[in-house]
Amino acid sequence: MRRPSPRILRVAAAAIAALLVVAQPTASAWAQDPISGFFNMIFRGGQPAPRAQRIEIPDGNAQPRRPAEPRVVETPKSPDAQTVLVLGDIEAVGLANGLQMAFAEEPSLQVATKTKNTLALTRESDSDWFGQTEKWVADAKADFLVAMVGINDWQSISLGGGVKPLEPGGEDWNRVYGERLDRWIGALKATGKPFWWVGLPPTADADLGPTKRAAFAAFLSSLNDLARPRVEAAGGHFVDVWAAFTDEEGHYTQMGPDVDGQVKRLRMNDGILFTRAGRRKLAFFVEGGILRLKRGEAPIAEPETPQIQPKVEEDIVGAPPALPPPPWSVAGPVTPLDGPTPGAETGLAGGATAVAPIALPGGYPVAATPAARLLVEGMPLDPPAGRVDAMARRRP
């Protein structure tokens, strides 16, 4: 047998090496599917076939992501800008954000915060938290103070020492809670800065049933009643926002008009926190007072409810007062519409033998009245001046 020449052997070796290099990228594809991998190696030049794109099917139970709210863009503040310090719980955080939006374009006002989401006056440890109010005011160089607290206070108050905890709404609970209100309101007053206390709005806690929701709403309203007289007695401004977040019947509502009068969603799904529009509306009721005071204007006083003096017992059970004397001594003209025409036998004004016309107060004779001419004499009423038949009657 004739042996192949060295040249032919070199060409064959080069061809085999090239084939191995081309086939290398498809090794994995060939291992998965030898047949399609082989034809892919031949007809696609060793390039693997494109893999099918994976399609993600959204989960129907997954909650859609809420788009991020736009960040509050503030104009640069002047070096001598006055500071509004907001203190309180998680609702005070939303209030501070609303005030940042309100004063975003006001270079002479800036907002600082000192808040704690879980803050509650029912916990003794948190009630001591307010003892640092004067220090915080000094650190922030605050000129105006705004406080909001109470959403976390629907819980018992523990006095320790084996004493039974006080349940919300009871007389002893209100007394102890009022003492802690006095402590913090007194701390706000001691700073010498003007302060606003924002009342609690109604809520519809999603974790509570309908009965407990109604009880919770009544509880929050009672906290406003406890705070208002104390704030006003200390020289502060109590801001009542309850009606601003209710419907026409005074019930909690998630929707409502914003500061521009457009109906928008004001509360989050949890029934407690505020949306961007709700936070801006919450701050609306505070910003006006701050701006007026900053300009040196007197705050607008709330209209006082008129006090109605109750009647004495004698006025209630006594006889009714006497009627005033009649304006005339005889009855006016009475003309039956279905009876005979008044005449001499009746003696009424306008009759054939009427002695004298009966006069109304002021001396106006009955016979000269339009009603007497229509009903007694049978003459038509005079048409109003300017009407067509009035013009026609004037013609000769």
> Model confidence at 305, in pLDDT bands (50, 70, 90)?
very low
- How much is the CA Rg of the chain, to the nearest whole Å? 44
CA distance 102 to 259: 11
241 falls in which pLDDT band (50, 70, 90)?
very high
Q: Mind giving me the DSSP string for 317-329?
A: HSPPPPPPPPSSS
- How many CB atoms sit inside 10 A of residue 281's CB? 23
Range in 45-49, 118-122, 123-127, 129-133 with the lowest mean pLDDT? 45-49
Other CB atoms within 10 Å distance of the CB of residue 244: 16
Tell me what the pLDDT averaged over the chain comes to: 76
For 222-245, give the secondary structure using H, E and C.
Answer: HHHHHHHHHHHHCCCEEECCCHHH
Q: Distances in Å between the alpha carbon of 244 and those of 98, 226, 278, 282, 375? A: 15, 20, 10, 8, 59
The C-alpha atoms of residue 154 and residue 219 are separated, in whole angstroms, by 8
Query: Who wins on pLDDT, 71 or 266?
Result: 266
The pLDDT value given to residue 267: 95
Is residue 347 pLDDT above 50, yes or no?
A: no
Q: How many CA atoms lie within 13 A of 218 on its CB side?
A: 8
Domain ranges of the chain: 14-43, 82-294, 333-396
Residue located via tokens 């809420």: 66
pLDDT tens sequence across 24-70: 444 444 445 555 555 555 555 555 555 544 444 444 444 445 556 67
**Residue whose C-alpha is closest to residue 127's, from 89, 189, 167, 184:** 184
Contact 227, 179 (CB under 8 A): no
Residues counted in the chain:
396
Q: What is the pLDDT of residue 101?
A: 95
Q: What angle do CA 350, 355, 360 make, to 5 degrees?
A: 65
| Identity of the residue numbered 16 | I
The fold adopted by the segment(s) 82-294 is Rossmann fold (3.40.50)
- What pLDDT is attached to residue 365? 56
Decide: helix, strand or coil at residue 53: coil
User: Rounded to whole angstroms, how far apart are CA atoms 30 and 257?
Assistant: 67
State the pLDDT confidence band at 149, using cuts at 50, 70 and 90: very high
Residue 162: left if φ>0, alpha if ψ -120 to 50, beta else—which one? left
* 191 Cα distance to chain centroid: 31
Structure tokens at 77: 């503040």
pLDDT for residue 111 is more than 60: yes
Spatial CA neighbour of 281 closest among 298, 301, 267, 271 = 267
- Residue 181's closest CA among 153, 155, 216, 221? 153
Comparing CA positions, the residue from 188, 177, 265 lying closest to residue 220 is 177
| Residue carrying the six token digits 């502060």 | 236
Q: Check residue 363 and report its DSSP letter.
A: S
Nearest to residue 92, comparing CAs of 279, 270, 262?
279
Q: Which of 166, 274, 272, 168 has its CA nearest to residue 218? A: 168
pLDDT at 210: 81
Indicate the pLDDT class of residue 23, thresholds 50, 70 and 90: very low
